[in-house]
């Protein structure tokens, strides 16, 4: 870390010899790129006649608008905390009749949502209003925005731009997108980036890694985007190594000797199926240009089906419980509209998921590439590893992409194998869990799965534990063997398959849950449900259980249940099988006995193997396999 900091300071000093330069750090748009985006994410109307397009704000005489919105605010708290910025210049391009007046106010908030005016100008006629304001009193929270009012003439605001001045050397930029048979989604994402000419100019290289058989290059809009990006767009074909393999390929290419010959590279990892706000890309790259030292910079996730709802302000793990995706702060906004709930407090994240996350080349050079996990926990592990090496993550408020709501994804799928295996590997390598904690957590969660008649899911998780105990050799092929094996085994369990709604008998009774027991009662309830099952005291079925009510302690009451799939497009038919439940419970206890005796040795093998697993040689071998 010391060498990296020294390089960064040297680069800054070299830049100083060339003199100061302006960096465009934020543009304020007035509406979204598409009609499905709520324009209140960009501007708020207060009075008078207002018409807005993405690029132009039309104000009738007497109209007033502000930009105290998710995409309209300048998130000063994050800039003060993480960057060298101490002031910012905002320029507002105004068109109006001769003598027309427009008030331009820079307003600011603090951690408690108290509002103050930072600067003000009354602009007469057409031209550019320019205001320079300090970024020095926002450490714990707060942001800045513009309040605009036209007086006795109509006016048009055609541009709002925020600039910083720096002597830093320009850093190279790259975007890495990977895909597996989501050709339409991936092509649409690249096409959306290509529609913004300033983003096209900003980005040095786009690495598009296609691991599928339905090739993205066959899509017309991808070809059109390629015509815009030109040689900047590098299309790479490789075997399916999962998200970890696809994103690692982008980092691998961006940190090659040839790529780094022109200086450090900031690589933005981005999912193939997001709907991107191009402005978020500009903000992430600008932020990374000015951080005091290299850090990971992440975008937030807005829901695709509810476009003004935020997943969470920032995320953390509880490795002792093998949990991720937790609120990083009690004050974080989660599952709420960011139109109605503006995040004032600065929220510090432990890691950022790779729906959009920027990784500086200094980080990759220091800590290596991601683990060859195939998918699940690759982004989490990398963020934690970086943090422990001295490279924190900033999840930048006001930078976001839209991603399919996690609420609509069912947890009973083959991915749970990778989640179980990779969470155990991560927690042990990073010293986040003890043997006792692991055994208690796994006995509880898999026991609950067995009790609720999800036998295939229980086996999926047990296989994940076995793969952890197998050691680093389980990652030798990048995940293909494990993927095929767990998919084949899950076929033996009928409740893992989603059935059409008409597979459920007509007139079946709906069984809703009543209340929610305290978490501290989990083990007691699990024991009670196990005794009831062995004694044949389950409630007869069939019953229909809505997804919202399908908690393990409720489903486990019944002998037969049709449980709505999270996608709301079908049902899972779960039936009590006494023999199968006993057999899987015995298998669980056997693997937990192994875990008890082999945990420490397995943890040491994983820790010793990580440098090789994350090295360029290992990944190059996988790419060429």
Alpha helices in 255-337, H assignment, sequence order: 257-260, 278-290
Average pLDDT over residues 240-244: 96
**Confidence category of residue 10, pLDDT binned at 50, 70, 90:** very low
CA 64 to chain centre: 35
Is there a contact between 495 and 455 (Cβ–Cβ < 8 Å)? yes
- Measured between alpha carbons, how far is 450 from 456 in angstroms, rounded to an integer? 9
Share of the chain above pLDDT 90, in %: 91
Local structure of residue 371 (DSSP, 8 states): P
The DSSP bridge partners found for residue 571 are 499, 564
Whether 6 has a pLDDT exceeding 70, the answer reads no
Per-residue pLDDT tens for 565-577?
999 999 999 999 9
Per-residue pLDDT tens for 422-474?
999 999 999 999 999 999 999 999 999 999 999 999 999 999 999 999 999 99
Of residues 65 and 506, more confidence is placed in 65
11-30 in b/e form (b: 16+ CB < 10 A) is beeebeeeeeeebbbbbbbb
pLDDT value, residue 406: 85
pLDDT value, residue 99: 85
Interacting residues of 25 by C-beta distance below 8 A, sequence separation 6+: 79, 85, 88, 162, 163, 164, 283, 286, 287, 290
Per-residue pLDDT tens for 479-494?
999 999 999 999 999 9
**Confidence category of residue 519, pLDDT binned at 50, 70, 90:** confident
**What region does 134 belong to: left with phi over 0, alpha with psi -120 to 50, or beta?**
beta
Local structure of residue 415 (DSSP, 8 states): H
Helical (H) or strand (E) element with 228: helix 220-229
Is there a contact between 162 and 144 (Cβ–Cβ < 8 Å)? no
Per-residue pLDDT tens for 203-239?
999 999 999 999 999 999 999 999 999 999 999 999 9
- Measured between alpha carbons, how far is 436 from 328 in angstroms, rounded to an integer? 25
Per-residue pLDDT tens for 166-191?
999 999 999 999 999 999 999 999 99
pTM (global) more than 0.75: yes
- Measured between alpha carbons, how far is 351 from 299 in angstroms, rounded to an integer? 11
**Confidence category of residue 11, pLDDT binned at 50, 70, 90:** very low
Whether 559 has a pLDDT exceeding 90, the answer reads yes
Interacting residues of 51 by C-beta distance below 8 A, sequence separation 6+: 58
Angstrom CA distances, 380 to 171, 193, 298, 351, 371, stand at 25, 26, 12, 6, 10
Angstrom CA distances, 302 to 75, 311, 346, 410, stand at 17, 6, 18, 19
**Confidence category of residue 418, pLDDT binned at 50, 70, 90:** very high
- Measured between alpha carbons, how far is 307 from 41 in angstroms, rounded to an integer? 9
Residue 130 backbone dihedrals phi, psi, to 5 degrees: -125, 125
**Confidence category of residue 15, pLDDT binned at 50, 70, 90:** very low
Is there a contact between 573 and 562 (Cβ–Cβ < 8 Å)? yes
**Confidence category of residue 408, pLDDT binned at 50, 70, 90:** confident
Average pLDDT over residues 130-156: 97
Q: How many CB atoms lie within 10 A of CB 120?
A: 12
Helical (H) or strand (E) element with 12: helix 2-17
The rounded mean pLDDT for the chain is 94
**Confidence category of residue 17, pLDDT binned at 50, 70, 90:** low
Average pLDDT over residues 339-366: 97
Is there a contact between 392 and 292 (Cβ–Cβ < 8 Å)? no
pLDDT value, residue 19: 84
Share of the chain above pLDDT 70, in %: 97
State the sign of the Cα–Cα–Cα–Cα dihedral 83, 1, 373, 242: positive
pLDDT value, residue 602: 98
Local structure of residue 390 (DSSP, 8 states): T
Average pLDDT over residues 354-362: 98
Interacting residues of 154 by C-beta distance below 8 A, sequence separation 6+: 58, 59, 60, 61, 96, 97, 100
Whether 12 has a pLDDT exceeding 70, the answer reads no
pLDDT value, residue 98: 81
Whether 13 has a pLDDT exceeding 60, the answer reads no
**Confidence category of residue 584, pLDDT binned at 50, 70, 90:** very high
Whether 8 has a pLDDT exceeding 70, the answer reads no
CA dihedral 384, 385, 387, 390 (to 10 degrees): 170
Angstrom CA distances, 349 to 388, 576, 621, stand at 13, 42, 33
pLDDT value, residue 516: 87
């Amino acid at each position: 870390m010391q060498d990296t900091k020294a390089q960064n300071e040297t680069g800054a000093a070299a830049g100083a010899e060339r003199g100061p330069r302006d960096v465009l750090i934020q543009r304020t748009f007035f509406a979204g790129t598409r009609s499905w985006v709520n324009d209140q994410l960009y501007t708020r109307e207060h009075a008078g006649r207002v018409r807005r397009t993405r690029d132009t704000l039309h104000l009738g005489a007497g109209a007033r608008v502000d930009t105290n919105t998710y995409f309209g605010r300048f998130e000063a708290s994050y800039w003060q905390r993480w960057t060298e910025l101490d002031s910012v210049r905002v320029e507002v391009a105004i068109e109006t009749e001769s003598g027309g007046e427009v008030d331009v106010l820079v307003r600011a908030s603090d951690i408690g949502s108290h509002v103050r005016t930072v600067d003000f100008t009354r602009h007469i006629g057409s031209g550019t209003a320019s205001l320079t304001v300090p970024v020095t009193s926002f450490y714990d929270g707060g942001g800045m925005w513009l309040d605009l009012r036209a007086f006795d003439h109509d006016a048009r605001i055609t541009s709002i731009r925020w600039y910083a001045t720096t002597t830093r050397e320009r850093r190279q930029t790259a975007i890495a997108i990977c895909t597996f048979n989501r050709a339409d989604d991936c092509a649409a994402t690249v096409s959306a980036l290509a529609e913004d000419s300033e983003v096209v100019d900003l980005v040095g290289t786009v690495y598009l890694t296609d691991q599928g058989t339905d090739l993205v290059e066959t899509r017309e809009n991808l070809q059109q985007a390629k015509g815009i990006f030109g040689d900047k767009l590098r299309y790479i074909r490789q075997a399916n190594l999962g998200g970890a393999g696809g994103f690692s390929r982008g980092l691998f290419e961006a940190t090659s000797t040839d790529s780094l010959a022109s200086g450090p590279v900031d690589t933005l990892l981005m999912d193939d199926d997001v709907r991107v706000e191009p402005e978020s890309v500009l903000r992430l790259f600008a932020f990374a240009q000015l951080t005091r030292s290299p850090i990971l910079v992440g975008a937030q996730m807005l829901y695709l089906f509810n476009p003004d709802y935020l997943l969470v302000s920032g995320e953390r793990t509880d490795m002792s419980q093998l949990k991720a995706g937790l609120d990083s702060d009690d004050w974080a906004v989660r599952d709420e509209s960011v139109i109605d709930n503006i995040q004032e407090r600065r929220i510090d994240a432990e890691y950022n998921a790779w729906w959009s996350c920027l990784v500086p080349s200094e980080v990759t050079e220091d800590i290596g590439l991601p683990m060859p996990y195939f998918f699940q926990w690759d982004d989490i592990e990398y963020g934690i590893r970086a943090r422990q090496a001295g490279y924190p993550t900033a999840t930048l408020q006001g930078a976001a992409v839209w991603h399919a709501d996690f609420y609509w994804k069912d947890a009973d799928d083959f991915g749970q194998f990778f989640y179980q295996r990779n969470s155990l590997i991560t927690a042990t390598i990073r010293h986040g869990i003890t043997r006792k904690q692991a055994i208690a957590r796994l006995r509880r969660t898999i026991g609950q799965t067995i009790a609720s008649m999800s036998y295939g899911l229980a086996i999926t998780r047990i296989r994940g534990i076995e793969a952890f105990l197998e050691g680093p050799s389980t990652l030798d092929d990048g995940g293909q063997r494990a993927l095929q094996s767990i998919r084949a085994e899950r076929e033996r369990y009928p409740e893992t398959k989603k059935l059409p709604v008409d597979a459920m008998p007509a007139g079946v009774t709906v069984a809703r849950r009543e209340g929610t027991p305290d978490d501290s009662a989990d083990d007691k309830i699990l024991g009670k449900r196990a005794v009831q099952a062995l004694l044949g005291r389950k409630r007869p079925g069939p019953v229909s259980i809505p997804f919202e009510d399908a908690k393990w302690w409720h489903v486990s009451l019944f002998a037969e249940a049709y449980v709505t799939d999270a996608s709301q497009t079908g049902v899972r038919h779960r039936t009590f099988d006494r023999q199968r439940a006993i057999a899987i419970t015995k298998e669980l206890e056997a693997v937990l006995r192994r875990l008890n005796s082999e945990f420490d040795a397995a943890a040491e093998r994983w820790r010793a193997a990580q440098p090789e697993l994350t090295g360029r040689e290992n990944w190059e071998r996988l790419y060429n396999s």
